[in-house]
Amino acid sequence: MNKTKKLLGISFGLIALLIAAGTTLAFTQAPDQSQPAATDEPFQARQRRDEALAQALGISIDELQAARQEAFDVALDQMVAEGLLSEERAALMRARAAFLSSLDRDEILAQALGISAADLQAAREDGQNPRQLVTDLGLDPATVRQNLAEARDAAIEAAVANGLITPEQGQLLSGNRRPIRPERPNPRARANRAYQERGIHRGREILDAALADALNISVDELKAARQEALATTVQQALDEGRISGERADLILARAALARAVEPDDVLALALGISTDDLQAARDQGQTLPELVEQLGLDPGSVRENLQFARDQLIDQAVAAGDITEEQAQLLREAPGRSHRRFWQDRRPGPLPFPGQSAFPLPTG
């Protein structure tokens, strides 16, 4: 029995990656589908994406940030109303958002590293990430983490004192182990939530609709702007020599395929059933583990089905005109053409917070 549970756990981890195809894309980031360069410094990458999306929308960065804040609040309310989030979870997310909007993460990180903010900026411009900087400075990672924790607690107290967050929000953050980085569900929990409640997929719809409303445009117009922003940032990365032409083509191909795929179609194909049967199982209250067990699947067959689904979806996207044959060939021949690489541009992340910085703090 324990072995069976372990094997099923592996399967659910794979299935979670499949379901992630329709997960919430970072609506505070643009474009959603891809990072222009794997080595691009996160802060600069997000800044470029924001600038590209604002340009595609014909608005300023400030207007884009204001729309995100409005959409964030509206989306949380709707998710709570639909039972996708608890009141407690929504309150914590609002507290994090308010805290992060007032937080100077560069100052905190510089303080933890024992350097100035100017030195930190210089390191960033030299292409160093925080982990490299910790090593170069000869610091003990455990000490840096402790410094960060102390600086974080001091920042929370300062935010309360300055009226940027309420005392209740400060208490929520202080009582949470990682108030700067939202917790992520494990693959099995994510797969079950996405399958059973379609919470991830519905959350994406809610976020997109809320942001489109805040921008006074349609969801289709928002998606078109994101696509334009993606093309802009990829071309910029190509022009600046941060990625190769082959990498740029592959990014665009993966993004086009991701836009053409419906999550339930992927999951049903991997499980060897129709989307109607998948929905029927969901409507009957059948859990994903129960469905997998009923179908007699094992990790080996799931992995084979994932690869089969990948190839089938590429073929279907070509036939439908969603991607070109050249793009399909790139996808088929891409290095690491496993399910993990296939979905890497649509993997889920934490629900983003308006104004969140992207120069990551090192963690354990």
Residues 286-299 have a mean pLDDT of 80
Residues 296-303 have a mean pLDDT of 74
Domain tally for the chain? 1
Bigger pLDDT: 238 or 309?
Answer: 238
168 within a domain of the structure (yes/no): no
125 within a domain of the structure (yes/no): no
pLDDT over 90 (residue 148): no
Residues 88, 346: Cα–Cα separation, whole Å = 27
Query: Domain range holding 241?
Result: 2-25+38-103+180-346
Bigger pLDDT: 9 or 224?
Answer: 224
136 within a domain of the structure (yes/no): no
31 within a domain of the structure (yes/no): no
121 within a domain of the structure (yes/no): no
Tens of pLDDT along 87-144?
A: 988 898 888 888 887 788 788 888 888 888 888 888 888 878 778 888 888 888 888 8
120 within a domain of the structure (yes/no): no
**CB distance 42 to 356 below 8 Å:** no
Q: Tell me, letter by letter, the H, E, C secondary structure of the chain.
A: CHHHHHHHHHHHHHHHHHHHHHCCCCCCCCCCCCCCCCCCCHHHHHHHHHHHHHHHHCCCHHHHHHHHHHHHHHHHHHHHHCCCCCHHHHHHHHHHHHHHHHCCHHHHHHHHHCCCHHHHHHHHHCCCCHHHHHHHCCCCHHHHHHHHHHHHHHHHHHHHHCCCCCHHHHHHHHCCCCCCCCCCCCHHHHHHHHHHHCHHHHHHHHHHHHHHHHHCCCHHHHHHHHHHHHHHHHHHHHHCCCCCHHHHHHHHHHHHHHHHCCHHHHHHHHHCCCHHHHHHHHHCCCCHHHHHHHCCCCHHHHHHHHHHHHHHHHHHHHHCCCCCHHHHHHHHHCCCCCHHHHCHHHCCCCCCCCCCCCCCCCCC
Residues 132, 203: Cα–Cα separation, whole Å = 36
Bigger pLDDT: 278 or 40?
Answer: 278
pLDDT over 50 (residue 358): no
pLDDT over 70 (residue 21): no
Structure tokens at 13: 């981890």
Confidence of residue 191 (pLDDT cuts 50, 70, 90): low
139 within a domain of the structure (yes/no): no
159 within a domain of the structure (yes/no): no
Q: What is the pLDDT of residue 57?
A: 95
pLDDT over 80 (residue 169): yes
Bigger pLDDT: 194 or 95?
Answer: 95
Q: What is the pLDDT of residue 264?
A: 75
Q: What is the pLDDT of residue 350?
A: 37
